Amino acid sequence: MTTHILLIDDEQEFVTTLAERLDMRGFSTATAADGESGLAMIRETTWDVVILDLLMPGMSGLETLRHIREITPGLPVILLTGHGSTREGMEGMQLGAVDYLMKPLAIEELLEKLKEAVNP
């Protein structure tokens, strides 16, 4: 069974590369460049897991996570944070995120977190 992953991140080059790397490993991915479009995709499609960047212009990752919890409370969300910001990652965990990872990502670590999120 294919795992369907939604990547929400405003860094287009990063998210495109990450989607390609996940697709090569048998995942089915789609991307959204901001919280608003990500939420629209969550309302339209069933996802197995969301990978969500915390630092985005407009709607922040934490605000996006709050909306995700309203739409689909049980949807696993893995947060991505850069700039050494663990405070927002911890806040995201309190809002129900499965985990958070620091950018730049180690793909093996992300794969492990995806496995844990989909098969708790």
What's the pLDDT tens digit per position in 96-119? 999 999 988 999 999 999 999 999
DSSP string covering 46-101: --SEEEEES--SSS-HHHHHHHHHHH-TT--EEEEE-TT-HHHHHHHHHTT-SEEE
Q: Which of 75, 52, 51 is nearest to 63 (CA)?
A: 52
pLDDT tens-digit map of 69-92: 999 999 999 999 876 667 888 899
C-alpha dihedral, 37 to 43 to 49 to 54, nearest 10°: 40
Beta-carbon count within 10 A of 47 CB? 20
Under CATH, which architecture does the 4-118 domain have? 3-Layer(aba) Sandwich (3.40)
**pTM metric for this prediction:** 0.96
Name the DSSP letter for residue 28: E
Annotated domain spans of the chain: 4-118
